[in-house]
């Protein structure tokens, strides 16, 4: 049978398959071959013997928290407290693009900015919408519920952005602590907390506070370049152009002509310089 690991507790792997959960152990071979299953893994298993036979190749794998096969990430981004940061937003988008996770921009605290500021921000968000990124506000619960359907999702973003608040609104049973600092980093009193995938509105959601804004230094400049969707819309004359110093670079021209958002280009230069 095929299933997905939703929780791991010492040597028990809880495999969800067709709305049932089977506590399974791994084939002995796994240890010998250093195969380590993680939450999110799709597996082939025997429901009688309760043994995981095989891990289906992963779409992606994260280390902190250790999870795999994430389909989409809600990038929870506040407009105030903490301030709206396009640098951080672009950084999260790059991370998700490189890891084959669909980014969904989720705006919070729009109630804390005035009308004219919100207009300006909406103009910027329109640029992202045109790149085919979905944008939702944390007040649009029905829209968010629809997006969760049939997907494995994670909510991530800066501390204080409103992740726990939103998750509690989506599922009041969770009762995640609001206003808590740095729970995602595996330090402090939450170190032992297990990662678990929960069914929510026909999808699966991780009940952890998500990934921290990891450094991009683990990735190559080419990977970072290719994570900027708009650069592909304007193919450069130079095949392997990094869009930095080349004098006839098409991307640079589009930045000058305001077809590429300047902050995106500046963040790109910043990320490849890191």
Q: Which residues bind ligand GDP (CB under 6 A)?
A: 76, 108-109, 111-112, 138, 157, 159-165, 178-180, 209
d(CA 102, CA 108): 19
Provide, rounded to whole angstroms, the least separation between the CB of residue 154 and Mg ion: 13
Nearest residue (CB) to Mg ion, 40 versus 209: 209
The helix (run of H) or strand (run of E) holding residue 12 is strand 12-17
C-beta nearest to Mg ion: residue:
164
Going from the C-alpha of 266 to that of each of 121, 124, 200, 255, the distances in angstroms are 18, 15, 38, 10
DSSP symbol at 217? G
The helix (run of H) or strand (run of E) holding residue 79 is none
Provide, rounded to whole angstroms, the least separation between the CB of residue 74 and ligand GDP: 11
- The residue count of the chain comes to 274
Q: Name the pairing type of β-strands 12-17 and 20-26.
A: antiparallel
Judged by CB under 5 A, the chain residues 203 through 242 that form the site for Mg ion are: 209
- Residue 65 sits in the site that holds Mg ion (CB under 5 A): no
3-state DSSP assignment of residue 52: strand
d(CA 102, CA 226): 15
Asked if 16 contacts 4 with a C-beta cutoff of 8 angstroms, the reply is yes
Which range, of 7-15, 112-120, 146-154, 156-164, touches Mg ion by CB under 5 A? 156-164
Q: Which of Mg ion, ligand GDP, Zn ion, none has residue 243 at its interface (CB below 5 to 8 Å by kind)?
A: Zn ion
Q: Which of Mg ion, ligand GDP, Zn ion, none has residue 28 at its interface (CB below 5 to 8 Å by kind)?
A: none
Nearest residue (CB) to Zn ion, 197 versus 251: 251
Provide, rounded to whole angstroms, the least separation between the CB of residue 268 and Zn ion: 11
- Residue 164 sits in the site that holds Mg ion (CB under 5 A): yes
Tokens for 110? 């729009």
d(CA 24, CA 14): 6
Nearest residue (CB) to Mg ion, 207 versus 254: 207
* N- to C-terminal Cα separation, the chain: 45
Enumerate binding residues for Zn ion (CB under 5 A). Answer: 236, 241, 243, 249, 251
Nearest residue (CB) to Mg ion, 3 versus 160: 160
Q: Which of Mg ion, ligand GDP, Zn ion, none has residue 95 at its interface (CB below 5 to 8 Å by kind)?
A: none
Q: Which residues bind Mg ion (CB under 5 A)?
A: 163-164, 209
């Amino acid at each position: 049978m095929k299933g997905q690991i939703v929780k791991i507790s010492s040597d028990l792997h809880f495999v969800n398959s067709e709305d049932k959960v089977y506590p399974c152990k791994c084939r002995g071979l796994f240890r010998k071959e250093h195969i380590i299953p993680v939450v999110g893994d799709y597996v082939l298993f025997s429901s009688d013997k309760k043994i995981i036979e095989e891990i289906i190749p992963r779409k992606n794998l994260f280390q902190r928290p250790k999870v795999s096969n994430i389909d989409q990430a809600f990038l929870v981004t506040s407009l105030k407290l903490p301030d709206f940061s396009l640098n951080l937003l672009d950084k999260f988008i790059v991370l998700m693009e490189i890891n084959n996770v669909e980014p969904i921009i989720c705006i919070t605290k729009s109630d804390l900015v005035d009308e004219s500021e919100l207009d300006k921000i909406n103009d910027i968000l329109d640029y992202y919408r045109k790149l085919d990124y979905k944008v939702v506000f944390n007040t649009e619960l029905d829209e968010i519920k629809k997006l969760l359907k049939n997907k494995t999702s994670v909510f991530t973003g800066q501390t204080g952005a409103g992740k726990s608040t939103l998750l509690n609104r989506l599922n009041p049973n969770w009762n995640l602590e609001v206003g808590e600092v740095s729970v995602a980093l595996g330090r402090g009193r939450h170190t032992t907390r297990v990662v678990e995938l929960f069914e929510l509105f026909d999808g699966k959601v991780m009940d952890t506070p998500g990934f921290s804004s990891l450094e991009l230094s683990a990735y190559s400049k080419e990977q970072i370049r290719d994570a900027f969707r708009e650069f592909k819309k304007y193919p450069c004359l130079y095949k392997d152009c990094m869009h930095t110093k080349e004098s006839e670079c098409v991307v640079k021209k589009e930045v000058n002509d305001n077809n590429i958002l300047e902050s995106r280009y500046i963040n790109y230069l910043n990320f490849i310089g890191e």
